[in-house]
Chains A and B, each alone.
Chain A
Amino acid sequence: MSFVLVQVIVGGLLLGAVYALFSSGLTLVWGMMNIVNFAHGDFVMLGMYVAFVVFTLFGVGPLAGAPLATLLLATLGVVVYFGLIRDIMKGPMLAQILGTFGLALLLRYSVFWWFGANFLSLPQNIVGGTFAIFGLRIEASRLLAGAVALLVTLGLHLLLTRTSLGSKMLAVAEDSTAAQLMGIRPDTMQAIAWAIAAGATGLAGALIATFFYIVPTVGETLGIVAFVTVSLGGFGSVPGALVAGLLIGVIESLSGYLIGAVYKDIVVYALFLFFLWFRPQGLMGKA
């Protein structure tokens, strides 16, 4: 295998890990509460802006920016849950699309109103530069994001499968009435799920900001990627989101290099459609 191809694949894996990072929160709420969140991309965007503000005010990088973004977004998640989600959850899917789309616009253009339309950026080497391993060039910031993606996936998976909180959350997801009879309060569980999901998304945004540009409309692009990743991985499956993210990253990278960058999205969407038609539960979702 040619050396450049290896670099392409490694780059694809790192890219895919980032996709997985900001999609894990989405798959959690989607799987647990069957809610489609059109504002997801804008949660990522908010995380990016928190990181930017932290840097502008205190001169600190993601060491402070990421935890703060996680906290703030988690709070926002709770607010959004009680303010909007709880009510539209009971409604038809249309109401969910309507509500979350309205939320997306509100968040996006509130940020636009405050920060303006300029493209912002964190300093180039805020996490350290690029280092070469066996001749492969790897950006430290992307590696960090990738490592965190693995940690987050592991953490969420353990939370859901090994902790009592997790089993309570899953119980509510499976049958909220039965869960209530068992003494679990669905409202609380779902609010917690939203807080965790939003927090994870904020974390993702803060880390992505170290190597990507920051602009209010970035949520549009990232939102669609998250949707595809989550569907491919299987709604509700956090490990699935990781695998799907990595797969999409590599496929995108390879097709961009071998066929041409204008076609790489076509390949991804075609593959995605193929999966939906013949394996709709995704790679690791429940059938």
Chain B
Amino acid sequence: MRRYLWPALLLALIIAYPLVFSTPFQQRLGALVLLYAIAASAWNVVGGYAGQVSVGHVVFFGCGAYAAMGAYTHFALSPLVGVPTGIVLAVAIAAIIGVPTLRLAGHYFSMATIAVAELVRLVVTNTNYLGAAVGLSGPTVPRNVFDLSFISALPYYYLFLIVLAITLLITWRMTNSRMGFYLRAVRDSERAARSLGAPTSRTKLYAFMLSAALTSVAGALYAMMFGFVDPESGLGILISVKILIMAALGGAGLLFGPLVGAAILVPLEEISNSLLGGKGAGLTFVVYGAIILLIARFQPGGILTLVNRLMERRGKLKETAASAAEASHAS
């Protein structure tokens, strides 16, 4: 029973956060953490669990964002319609480029994903139907609740929380399934896995497609919250790097790693910007860069692995203490 005390407490805190920290900015900060956590968790499926480091994931993010804004701009529909459309688009792209790209190893795979993302961004920049460089906007005044255009960040917070929970649930189910088993094998040693008969190519492809679908949902949610997307904010490489860093910082390949990473990096960025940004000396990014560098240097596995390791050690200490006590009792 005690095992569940802390997790339950944590969950209660997360649910109560925007009610306790209820200024608009704090609520928005919370919503942003969850939004990026969704994107980073989605990336985690293929980047963390399968070990295929995609640096071009923003292309899927953009699918969702553009689909949502496009549904509104061109068809006057609720941006929500963009969610399934974005998913279909993202999965299609993942399937098409996944086949030739996932064959590549390590750095080549990463480079290829960068190339795909940049290619799509450049094409969109020159396509008037998709807003070209001007971008697409969402409803400035919401027509109904389905436009998902709220003044307060509170509804966004809970919406994102639900979507994050679903994302993590899907990820968890996947890791415990046979596919998750194959993924771990691929990550540890693809050659060995293949020689043992695991369907490595198909596994990687499915992980890639699943990751793409979830990332596009994050993109659609982003577009609905900010009401705007353009090639830089929806398809720029910085977003790929950001979500990758969040997952890595928190702990790639761990279920809650991306959430931890987002919970650290998003407030860090916004707060250092709020405190230092206005001065115009660029200090925000000096601090941000230094922190990321230090964490990579001293804890390359991510913060959560550090946490887990400390827990293990503590658990072992308790074990040895318990067995020592036993031994002394027994004697």
| A, B co-complexed | yes
Residue positions of A touching B, CB distance < 8 A: 30, 34, 36, 38, 83-84, 87-88, 90-99, 101-110, 112-113, 117, 216, 224, 227-228, 231, 235, 262-263, 265-266, 269-270, 272-273, 276-277, 280
Question: Is B248 engaged at the interface, CB distance under 8 Å to the other chain?
Answer: yes
Contacts A93-B106, A276-B112 given; does A88 touch B300 at CB 8 Å: yes
Say how far B72's CB is from chain A's closest CB, in angstroms: 27
State how many angstroms separate the Cβ of A59 from the closest Cβ of chain B. 28
- CB–CB B282/A269 < 8 A: no
Q: Is B104 an interface residue (CB 8 A)?
A: yes
Does chain A have a CB within 8 A of B249? Answer: yes
How many B residues, CB 8 Å from partner? 52
Among B162-170, B173-181, B289-297, the stretch in contact with A: B289-297
**Residues on the B chain within 8 Å of A88, using CB:** 296-297, 300
Q: Is the interface of B mostly helix, strand, loop or mixed?
A: helix
Q: CB-defined interface of B102-143 with A at 8 Å, one 1/0 digit per residue? A: 011111101110111011001101100000000000000000
Q: Given known contacts A94-B247, A97-B241, A277-B104, what 13 new A-B pairs fall within 8 Å (CB)?
A: A91-B300, A92-B252, A93-B53, A94-B53, A102-B290, A109-B282, A109-B284, A112-B285, A113-B282, A117-B280, A265-B122, A269-B115, A277-B101
Taking the closest CB of chain A, its distance from the CB of B279, in whole angstroms, is: 10
Residue pair A30, B107 in contact (C-beta under 8 Å): yes
CB nearest to A232 among chain B residues: B111
Question: Quick check: B108 and A269 within 8 Å, CB to CB?
Answer: no
Question: Is B217 part of the binding interface, using a Cβ–Cβ cutoff of 8 Å?
Answer: no
Q: Report yes or no: A270 in contact with B252, Cβ–Cβ below 8 A.
A: no
Query: Which residue of the partner chain A has the closest CB to B125?
Result: A262
Whether A94 lies near B289 (C-beta < 8 A) is no
A94 to B292, CA, bound (A): 12
Complex: chain B residue closest to A272, CB-CB: B115
- When the two chains form their complex, are residues B116 and A273 in contact, meaning their CB atoms are under 8 A apart? yes
**B294 to A, closest residue via Cβ:** A102
When distances are taken between beta carbons in the complex, the residues of chain A under 8 Å from B119 are: 266, 269-270, 273
In the complex, the answer to whether B286 meets A110 with C-beta atoms within 8 Å is yes
